[in-house]
Amino acid sequence: MVVVLEKNITDKQFENIVKHLEDFGFAVHKSTGVEQVVLGAIGVKPDFDIRKVKILDGVAEVYKITEPFKLASRSFRKENTEIKIKDVVVGGNEVVVMAGPCAVESEEQIFTIAEIVSKTGAKILRGGAFKPRTSPYSFQGLGEEGLKMLRKAGDKFNLLVITEVMESNQIPLIEEYTDIFQIGARNMQNFGLLRDLGKTSKPIMLKRGLAATVEDWLMSAEYILSNGNKEVMLCERGIRTFETYTRNTFDLSAIPVVHKRSHLPVVADPSHATGLRDKVLPMARAAIAAGADALMVEVHHDPEKALSDGPQSLLPDQFEELMKQVKLIAEVIGRRIN
Ligand code: PEP
Ligand code: MN
């Protein structure tokens, strides 16, 4: 249930409304928008008579949300959520570009790539230190050493950093180094991890699961939001279909679908979505045209030797070309890429 408050509500009226909702058995979450303050009352009670809330002083409107996700829903928050991380805003007018290798491999590698992507206009450096690999015999990441290298490279080239957290017991360590937690596709429904990350205070990028519907994905975001962390961005990275000519099938339509249903920013990852470097540029253009708030792209200066995802990593000059082209597309739809 969503409770829209009157504009000039007093503190006393506010407290009274919250108390009533809690007494009725709801968990109350507040959302302060530019236009209005809204309370999300969570706790499924199909037969609850909403007039009990409508009559309270200071309540402007009450309505039931039929979608199973509440805090992630557009009905709970009309304005887009803007996530501010230092001087970067994800979800505003600017389309933010995150780029870097699949995995941090060495200090030399991450510094070389950080310099390239920062010069070319990326704002956030990506790189995995804990890698979710299909085979236990594949490179699993450098762990804490990798986190240190990523952080140093980010600081040197004035880039924020994002890296994947695979297990709850890694949270305190990764939190020391990263600006944004990444939840990988394979962990989208690891509910214990979602809950634990919901208790942290750093922004989270939640990748769409390999076979997740948009509703599954938003319900996973709901786990994080309902545990307290309101800074969630959703990343479309392709889903499994019967098609084999690409690694995954990039669900571009998920971008406007999520924007309609949810206030959370959407990131598009054409690298994992296609798995092939020559498909990344056209799909990045399409993602920006479809309204993505940020792009995540894998870049490597020597992809032949990359320890993971070399075939989908852009060469530096391809990344430069991508930035040129997506800037033009962004302008056409009234957005910008700095
Ligand atoms: C990654 O970003 O390197 C990654 C493993 O992505 P995904 O979880 O989307 O497969
Ligand atoms: Mn990768």
Instruction: Output the pLDDT for position 254.
Output: 98
Question: Are 50 and 172 part of one and the same domain?
Answer: no
Instruction: Output the pLDDT for position 338.
Output: 86
Task: Write the residue with the smallest CA distance to atom 9 of ligand 1.
Answer: 185
- Whichever domain contains 24, its CATH number is 3.30.70.1140
Task: Write the residue with the smallest CA distance to atom 10 of ligand 1.
Answer: 185
Domain residues for the domain of 44 are 2-63
Instruction: Output the pLDDT for position 118.
Output: 98
Question: Are 133 and 221 part of one and the same domain?
Answer: yes
Sheet hosting strand 59-63, strand order edge to edge: 27-32, 37-42, 2-5, 59-63
CA-to-CA distance for 38 and 21, rounded, in angstroms?
Answer: 13
Q: Largest Cα–Cα distance of the chain, in whole Å?
A: 67
Question: Are 88 and 58 part of one and the same domain?
Answer: no
**How much distance in Å is there from the Cα of 182 to the middle of ligand 1?**
9
Instruction: Output the pLDDT for position 35.
Output: 81
CA-to-CA distance for 287 and 285, rounded, in angstroms?
Answer: 5
Question: Are 229 and 281 part of one and the same domain?
Answer: yes
Q: Domain total for the chain? A: 2
Beta strands in the chain (DSSP E): 2-5, 27-32, 37-42, 59-63, 83-85, 88-90, 96-100, 124-126, 160-164, 180-183, 204-207, 232-236, 266-268, 294-298
Instruction: Output the pLDDT for position 317.
Output: 98
Question: Are 99 and 205 part of one and the same domain?
Answer: yes
Is 71 inside any structural domain? Answer: no
CA-to-CA distance for 249 and 272, rounded, in angstroms?
Answer: 9
Question: Are 185 and 322 part of one and the same domain?
Answer: yes
**How much distance in Å is there from the Cα of 199 to the middle of ligand 2?**
27
CA-to-CA distance for 22 and 54, rounded, in angstroms?
Answer: 15
Instruction: Output the pLDDT for position 44.
Output: 65
Residue 207 Cβ inside 6 Å of ligand 1? The answer reads: yes
- List, in sequence order, every residue forming a beta bridge with 98; answer none if it has no partner: 124, 296
Residues across the chain:
338
- Whichever domain contains 327, its CATH number is 3.20.20.70
Task: Write the residue with the smallest CA distance to atom 3 of ligand 1.
Answer: 102
Question: Are 22 and 127 part of one and the same domain?
Answer: no
CA-to-CA distance for 209 and 267, rounded, in angstroms?
Answer: 14
CA-to-CA distance for 52 and 20, rounded, in angstroms?
Answer: 9
Question: Are 14 and 125 part of one and the same domain?
Answer: no
Ligand 1 atom at shortest distance from the alpha carbon of 238: 9
Is 164 inside any structural domain? Answer: yes
Between CA 331 and CA 338, with CA 336 as vertex, the angle to 5 degrees is 130
Q: Following CA atoms 193, 195, 199, 205 in sequence, which dihedral angle do they give, to the nearest 10 degrees?
A: 60
**How much distance in Å is there from the Cα of 69 to the middle of ligand 2?**
29
Question: Are 140 and 268 part of one and the same domain?
Answer: yes
Which of 124, 135, 269 is the best mutation target for the ligand 1 pocket, counting ligand atoms within 8 Å of the beta carbon and taking the most?
269
Which residues in the chain come in under a pLDDT of 50?
none
Nearest to 254 by CA among 281, 293, 226, 224: 293
Q: Following CA atoms 203, 208, 209, 210 in sequence, which dihedral angle do they give, to the nearest 10 degrees?
A: -140
Question: Are 36 and 117 part of one and the same domain?
Answer: no
Task: Write the residue with the smallest CA distance to atom 8 of ligand 1.
Answer: 184
